[in-house]
Amino acid sequence: MAARERVTIREVAARAGVSPATVSRVLSGNYPVPPATRTRVLKAARSLDYVANVHARALVGGGRSMVAVILRQVTNPFYAQVAEGVEAEASDHGRLCLVGSTGGDTRREMELVQLMREEGASLVILVGGIVEDDAYRARVTRYAHALQGAGSRLVLCGRPSSDPALPAIVVEFDNEAGAHALTSHLVSAGHRRIVFLGGLPGNSALDARVAGYRAALTAHGLADEDAHVIDCGLGRGAGHRAMTELLTRRTDFTAVFAGDDMVAAGALRAIADAGLRVPDDISVVGYNDIPLAQDFNPPLTTVRTPAEELGRAAVRLALRDSEKLSAPVHHVLGTHIVVRDSVGPPAPHREARSTGGITPHDSATASDRPALPAAP
């Protein structure tokens, strides 16, 4: 089949015996047209399989604008949920939604923002914390102004604004409070030696969790030297590697605070591989409560960050003060702990800093595991 030319409004007009203007009026539906001609035009359009050209329409100001989400990777369940929330809310507002992923590459992020700007997206939503440096912050500032100049609006989702005066909407969680609560939960269960697995210096979300973890430790009268942060970054693989390594080096911690649920997944596997059990030997907690966290072994205690709601809030807020160019909006969503089965009382044999009280589980390696050092 040959690629016949696209049928235009003019052909429909000819077929219906009216002018293009009339066809436009019928199709746009924003102008009263007598039922008689209306029907005639509609029939002509249908018989020709006419579809309006969005470019022409957009050019002249008619086109529906869409909302764009830009995130690191779609395979991360948390990001995916945020995207789904954005999608849902956008759909409720009759907007189409597109998601682009950067793979952590700032160049690609820049291209994507640019592309969205070109397409005339009315909303560009940047999701998730990246590792920020000054150059990056400067770029976000440029995005915000450029987008505003083009009549659209930037939303920072799940991360703080680098500059409160930025013409951007920010929607995020209180990661510090969440981490504080989760750490307290661990302390309440009796844990004193808790390692934070998955720090990522420069990433605002992780930095906040680490801060909450440290603050909670202090609040419970533990010395700062009891804090131990392993900056292995995020992801299941990173969690698995770091935990495996930690297990061969130390024996005196009783709980692990994973930077997020994927890190927790890797850590759980590493612990199982080492022949230890959760929570009998070591307690583990995660962060985000991804849908499959309840299917881990054991079901994971974690903090629920309503990802989908984050996405929904982003577009709701942005659309609400649409065209108003009001003062920068800042919205913080609450989180709460979800208690499942990965936390128990500390294992007595792991509490002491000496290597006394060895069990069959770690007898093979316990003797060459040094105690936790003070934080740097």
Partner DNA sequence: ATGAAAGCGCTAACAT
Partner DNA sequence: ATGTTAGCGCTTTCAT
**Residue type at 316?**
R
What type of residue is 174?
Answer: D
The rounded distance, in Å, linking the Cα atoms of 252 and 353 is 6
Q: Which residues contact 225 (CB under 8 A, 6 or more apart)?
A: 374, 375
Q: Which stretch binds DNA (CB under 7 A): 24-32, 151-159, 232-240, 327-335?
A: 24-32
Name the residue nearer to DNA (CB basis): 13 or 293.
13
Q: Which does 32 bind (CB under 5 to 8 A by kind): its own copies, DNA, none?
A: DNA
Considering only the stretches 46-54, 137-145, 195-203, 231-239, report the one whose residues sit in contact with DNA under the rule CB under 7 A: 46-54
Contacts (CB under 8 A) with its own copies, residues 319-338:
325
Partner whose binding site includes residue 135, from DNA, its own copies, none (CB under 5 to 8 Å by kind): none
- Euclidean distance between CA atoms 70 and 79, whole angstroms: 10
* Among 87, 101, 98, CA closest to 120: 98
Select from DNA, its own copies, none the partner in contact with residue 118, using the beta carbon and a kind-dependent cut-off of 5 to 8 Å: its own copies
Binding span for its own copies by CB under 8 A among 127-135, 181-189, 288-296, 331-339: 288-296
In sequence order, which residues have a C-beta less than 8 Å from that of residue 340 and are 6 or more positions away? 293, 294, 298, 299, 300, 301, 302
Which of its own copies, DNA, none sits in contact with 249, Cβ below 5 to 8 A by type? none
Q: Are 342 and 281 in contact (CB under 8 A)?
A: no
- Runs of H (alpha helix) within 49-105: 54-59, 77-92
Min dist. Cβ of residue 326 to DNA (A): 25
DSSP result, 335-376: -EEE--SS--SPPHHHHSSSS-S--TTTTTTGGGPPPPPPP-
* Alpha-carbon gap, residue 81 to 85, rounded angstroms: 6
Terminal Cα-to-Cα distance of the chain (whole angstroms): 71
Q: Which of residues 94-153 bind its own copies (CB under 8 A)?
A: 96-101, 103, 108, 111-112, 114-115, 117-120, 142, 145-146, 148-151
Identified binder of DNA from the candidate list 39, 46, 47, 59, rule CB under 7 A: 59
Shortest CA distance to 15 belongs to which of 23, 4, 25? Answer: 23
Task: Decide: is 181 part of the binding site for its own copies (CB under 8 A).
Answer: no
Using rule CB under 7 A, residue 342 touches DNA: no
- CB 121 → its own copies: shortest distance, Å? 11
Q: Is 42 in the site for its own copies (CB under 8 A)?
A: no
Token output for 45:
């359009």
- Binding partner of 37, given DNA, its own copies, none, CB within 5-8 angstroms per partner class: DNA
Looking at residue 2, its amino acid is A
60 binds DNA (CB under 7 A): yes
Shortest distance in whole angstroms from residue 235 CB to its own copies: 10
Binding-site member from 39, 62, 292, 339 for DNA (CB under 7 A): 62
**Which of its own copies, DNA, none does residue 202 bind (CB under 5 to 8 Å by kind)?**
none
Cβ–Cβ < 8 Å for 15, 44: yes
Strand pairing partners for 284? 256
Residues 6+ apart with CB under 8 A from 211: 176, 179
- Give the binding site for DNA (CB under 7 A): 5-6, 8-10, 13, 17-25, 27-28, 30-34, 36-37, 50, 52-53, 56-57, 59-62
**Contact positions vs its own copies (CB under 8 A):** 1-4, 6-7, 49, 51-56, 58-59, 63, 66, 73-75, 77, 80-81, 83-84, 87-88, 91, 96-101, 103, 108, 111-112, 114-115, 117-120, 142, 145-146, 148-151, 167, 236, 265, 268-269, 291-292, 294-298, 325
